[in-house]
Amino acid sequence: MVNLELPITVPDNMPHLGTVKVWAHLSQVVLTLLTICTVAPVIATEIRFYSGSQAGPNWTLFVAIFTSWIPVLLVYFPWAYDRKNKFKRIGKFCLKPRTNLIFTGFGSLMWAAAGIAMAVHANNPDHCNIDSERAADDGDYASAWSAQCNCAKAAAGFAWITCLMWIATLICSVIIFWNEKQLIQKNLREHQQNKQEALAQQEQGEAMMENEAHPEDNVKYQVPSQQNTYYHPSPTPPPHAITEPYPVDYRTNTVTPPQQYLYPSNSATPSQYPQYHAETTPMPMAQRF
């Protein structure tokens, strides 16, 4: 069995979408041939007895002939490019989702118009009623006119079925085109994210290299560690230190403090700070140490 799967990107939940699209195009070819085979006798009979044909069958025949090459273009050339490595330029062109979207949309519109025109023609009673005068003059008229009426109805049915096949391929092309756009957007986002991460790593690496090359520049930016500072509980600053020792009387084993004491400030008085007033009472040697 011939593998008709084409190298196109399809959604993950529709793995056989490409194969379905190929078979739909092949169905279009078969239905187009059937439409031509049924509409051609209608045109021939009208020309035979009325020296001209109606617009509906003429338009349907034109659409069938004009669009018959599109399925071949969208199936054979991509297949030959993928399997035989032939027709590279036209094969790549026909594999593009945008190309398929344009051609299938165009074919759907053309066959929808052909189906409407042929249905209107087949349902017109004047195109099926037998003219008694012509039937009397020509013995083949009655059978030929009845046959062309049946062919017109069949042609209308084949035209609508062909239109449905074109719409099916259009839906497949829209899904494939949308999936391609989503993949492109995803790749762009990933590329942008990878680019930003690479720039961040590059900047970090440059900063580390600069720090290793000039380590002394970071010394002045170092924050000193905080140390616990304990303050004197008194609302006033502590008194100035006394550098000279107290006079000691070794006979009585006592220490006599000086009569004058240094206060916290020059403007302070003993009455404001009684806790720092000089002691005149001799202090025993045991309390001194």
Average pLDDT for runs of 10 along the chain of length 289: 70 83 93 95 90 91 94 90 85 89 95 95 88 80 88 95 96 90 77 75 74 60 50 51 51 55 50 50 49
Q: Given this model, what pLDDT does residue 278 score?
A: 47
Q: Given this model, what pLDDT does residue 10 score?
A: 77
* Tokens linked to 116: 């409407």
Q: Given this model, what pLDDT does residue 274 score?
A: 54
Residue matched to tokens 């020059």: 266
Q: Given this model, what pLDDT does residue 1 score?
A: 54
* Helix residue ranges per DSSP H, the chain: 17-50, 55-66, 69-79, 88-95, 97-122, 132-137, 141-213, 285-288
Q: Given this model, what pLDDT does residue 272 score?
A: 53
* Tokens linked to 151: 């062919």
- Report the alpha-carbon distance of residue 187 to residue 180 in Å, rounded: 10
Q: Contact at 8 Å (CB) between 42 and 151?
A: yes
Q: Given this model, what pLDDT does residue 19 score?
A: 87
Q: Given this model, what pLDDT does residue 277 score?
A: 47
* Tokens linked to 72: 């071949």
What's the whole-model pTM score? 0.64
- Report the alpha-carbon distance of residue 118 to residue 128 in Å, rounded: 13
Torsion angle, CA of 156/174/27/9, rounded to 10 degrees? 180
Half-sphere exposure of 87 (CA within 13 A, CB side): 18
For residue 105, CA distances in Å to 100, 101, 148, 181, 209 come to: 8, 6, 31, 18, 59
- Report the alpha-carbon distance of residue 226 to residue 229 in Å, rounded: 9
Report the amino acid identity of residue 271: S
Q: Contact at 8 Å (CB) between 11 and 18?
A: no
